[in-house]
């Protein structure tokens, strides 16, 4: 039996997409629309305060394409906090027009490939600690996709030896390092939590870099032989101050 790797885990993550009911939004008065926007901006300010205290992070994105209108990404200490955020959104006046769509639940993880002796606590580097509880970059674009590893005959990720998995992931990581400064990523684990096994969230100033990094990584053996992907969702970052203009009629 192949040996399982050890993971260290950080904040819980929720990717929450919404369609916007533009038809109903147009039917209410200008004053009602502005009041709804003001209320929602106050809620965003609450999230910003949490981020300033380094107790969580968030990002709001205008989705490109018709899979959704908005994508909210939240990082928090617990699932209880994530559920509370979802409920708070739904309770706002603007929430009446935000129709729930696709969502993804996961937990930030880092894989620890080095062995740990029995009875010892693992000492995490400052880099790993920061990666487990990150502040999401407020870059112009984000891309999210879920993924899993194949269990096909002759290509079963969970059958190969740990050393081989480590080698393949290292090579994969070296490809990613070529994009340092151009793409940042957050990897979340979702085994037992959602349909797929991992979620990948990428951030970039130029969305072309999403295409380039994913394309190049497709040629890594860990991807060509063992990877399966779900739908990709790409969005443009939405500033709090931009909300009023974006929803103006």
C-alpha span between 230 and 199 (Å, rounded) = 9
Q: What is the mean pLDDT of residues 103-112?
A: 94
Q: DSSP labels for 83-104?
A: HHHHHHHHHSTGGGGEEEEEEE
pLDDT in tens, 64-82: 999 999 999 999 999 999 9
- Amino acid 118: pLDDT: 45
Out of 145, 170, 179, 215, the active site residue is 145
Statement: residue 123 has pLDDT above 80: no
> CA 228 → CA 69, 102, 151, 198, distances in Å?
26, 19, 10, 10
Identify the H or E element spanning 149: strand 141-149
Question: In sequence order, what DSSP letters do the residues of 192-236 get, joined into one string?
Answer: TTSSSSEEEEEEESSTHHHHHHHHHHTTSHHHHTTEEE---EEEE
Give the list of residues 6+ apart from residue 115 with CB closer than 8 angstroms, or none.
none
Burial of 122 (0-12, 13-18, 19+ CB in 10 A): exposed
Q: φ and ψ at 103, to 5 degrees?
A: -140, 160
What is the chain's mean pLDDT, rounded?
94
Question: Which DSSP symbol is given to 160?
Answer: S
Q: Which range among 57-61, 95-99, 116-120, 221-225 shows the weakest confidence by mean pLDDT?
A: 116-120
Report whether pLDDT(131) > 60: yes
pLDDT of res. 32: 98
Residue 114: pLDDT over 60: no
The CATH code that applies to domain 6-246 is: 3.30.70.1030
Q: Report the sign of the C-alpha dihedral through residues 180, 185, 186, 189, in that order.
A: negative
Q: Is 145 annotated as catalytic? A: yes
């Amino acid at each position: 039996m192949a040996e399982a790797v050890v993971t260290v885990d950080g904040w819980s993550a929720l990717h929450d997409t919404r369609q916007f009911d533009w038809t109903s939004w147009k039917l209410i008065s200008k004053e009602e629309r502005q009041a709804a926007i003001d209320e929602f901006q106050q809620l965003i300010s609450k999230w910003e305060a949490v981020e300033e205290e380094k107790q969580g992070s968030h990002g709001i994105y205008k989705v490109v394409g018709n899979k959704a209108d908005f994508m909210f990404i939240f990082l928090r200490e617990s699932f209880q906090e994530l559920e509370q955020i979802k409920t708070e959104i739904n309770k706002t006046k603007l929430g009446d027009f935000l129709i729930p769509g696709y969502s993804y639940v996961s937990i930030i993880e880092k894989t620890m490939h080095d062995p740990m002796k029995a009875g010892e606590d693992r000492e995490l580097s400052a880099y790993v600690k920061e990666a487990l509880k990150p502040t999401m970059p407020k870059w112009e674009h984000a891309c999210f996709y879920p993924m899993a590893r194949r269990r096909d005959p002759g290509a079963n990720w969970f059958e190969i030896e740990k050393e081989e998995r480590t080698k393949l992931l290292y090579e994969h990581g070296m490809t990613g390092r070529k994009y340092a400064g151009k793409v940042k990523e957050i990897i979340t684990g979702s085994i037992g939590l959602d349909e797929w096994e991992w979620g990948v969230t990428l951030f970039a100033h130029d969305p072309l870099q999403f295409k380039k990094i994913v394309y190049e990584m497709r040629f890594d053996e860990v991807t060509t032989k063992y990877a399966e992907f779900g739908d990709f969702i790409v969005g443009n970052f939405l500033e709090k101050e931009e909300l009023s203009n974006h929803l103006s009629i």
